[in-house]
Amino acid sequence: MTEHSNTSTKVVVIGGGYAGTMAANRLRGREDVEVTLVNPRPRFVERIRLHQFVAGTRDAAVGFDTMLGAGVRLVVDSAARIDIDSRTVELASGGRLDYDYVIYAVGSTAATPVSVPGAAEFAYPIGEWEQAERLRAALDAVPVDARITVVGGGPTGIETASELAEQGRAVTLVGGGRLAPTVLEPARRSIRKWLTRHGVEVLETARVAEVRADAVVLNDGTVLAGSVTIWTAGFGVPELAANSGLRTDGLGRLYTDETLTSRDSDRVIAAGDAAAPSGQPLRMSCQAAIPLGAQAADTVLAHLAGKRPGEVNVGFAGTGISLGRRSGAVQPSRRDDTARNFHLGGRVAALLKETACRATIAGIRKEARKPGALSTGKGSSGHRKPALTADAVANQ
């Protein structure tokens, strides 16, 4: 590995998603900080567009050369362990990176549950780039009229089902309890109506008991034939923190204080889906990840300036769900993520969602050009107020 100057502060950012890329760019606000971004892929993945990628309507990856500011060093590798005693990050390739601070932005993972027989063998998750590539290949290998089963009634499941239906696919959506649980009934009703009108068979309360190569079996014993099963129900996080001896919550998110600093090391700062400030993590979404990435960088910069870091200051503005390319549903919320009593639908919602998706990339690129450009909406200490609304409806 390249040697660093002894006079500079070395910050290793683990994870090149929305939080990590934002943090890496923001750290460039000080010239004496050397930033290394560790990511397993050479391209930035727009995770909120993976459903478009699998349907063949849009790419979902862009070059890091367009996302990172000058001077950020990209290491295409995976972190295997953080050694807080020696202050090194051990890489999967066998290398090591020395650090003064680590920003832990490993994000979340999509996986099939071991509790459902056959899910791991036969179902296709969609939450990561490699999973989406595998799923797209599987879809390309079956006839256009082959039945596709989407498991999961949250935003990812709805968006995947609607994108495929708009491409002429025969889709069954197994909701697992309630469709779009983060929105109110009027918005839910509009989503259900769109899906039905476009030929999606919606089984809102059904749950999957078993996945087979050519079918899924529901809890009531019903067998649904299908050529491809897509699993969108639930997210987890990588086990890097736990494997490094750092305290985590029940899901494996790094346990931090309200400044996003690990309870076990003041040199490890968390951001994004893998952070659990005070054991009360925010909803997994790029809506939260980007401001958390900015705040994690600000925590490091505050330490370097000899100042007290600010506390978590992030809130939500709503849930946005795309329904194909020409429709959608936007459920505005209060800053505590509780829904407001109105929603937007149709083409207006689709335009808002697309604008928000584009704004996530634009915001990170702006930070690359001008570190500190993103306003974090600082307010009273300890309150999780809205910190970023540019991508407010682009959550997954």
Task: Parse the chain into domains and list their residue ranges.
Answer: 9-109+236-311, 119-231
Q: Is 108 helix (H, G, I), strand (E, B) or coil?
A: coil
- The DSSP secondary-structure symbol of 15 reads -
Stretch 66-82: mean pLDDT? 97
Cα 124 from Cα 15, distance rounded (Å): 23
**Do the domains spanning 9-109+236-311 and 119-231 agree at the CATH topology level?**
yes
Tell me the CA distances in angstroms from 46 to 90, 94, 97, 106, 323, one per residue in order.
26, 28, 27, 15, 18
Confidence (pLDDT) at 377: 62
Residue 6's pLDDT is 58
Q: Output the pLDDT for position 271.
A: 97
Which pLDDT belongs to residue 38? 98
DSSP class of residue 394 equals -
Average pLDDT over residues 20-38: 97
Residue 246's nearest CA partner among 102, 98, 96 is 102
Q: Residue 392: pLDDT above 50?
A: no
pLDDT band with cut points at 50, 70 and 90 for residue 111: confident
- For residue 306, pLDDT over 50 is answered with yes
Please tell me the CATH code under which domain 119-231 is placed: 3.50.50.60
Within 10 angstroms of residue 98's Cβ, the number of other Cβ atoms is: 14
pLDDT of 209: 97
Report pLDDT for 378.
53
Q: What fold, for 9-109+236-311? A: FAD/NAD(P)-binding domain (3.50.50)
**SS3 category, 377:** coil
Query: String of b and e for 132-149 (b: at least 16 CB within 10 Å)?
Result: beebbebbeeeeeeebbb
Question: Which has the higher per-residue pLDDT, 221 or 182?
Answer: 221
Q: What is the pLDDT of residue 234?
A: 80
Distance CA 107, CA 192 (A): 30
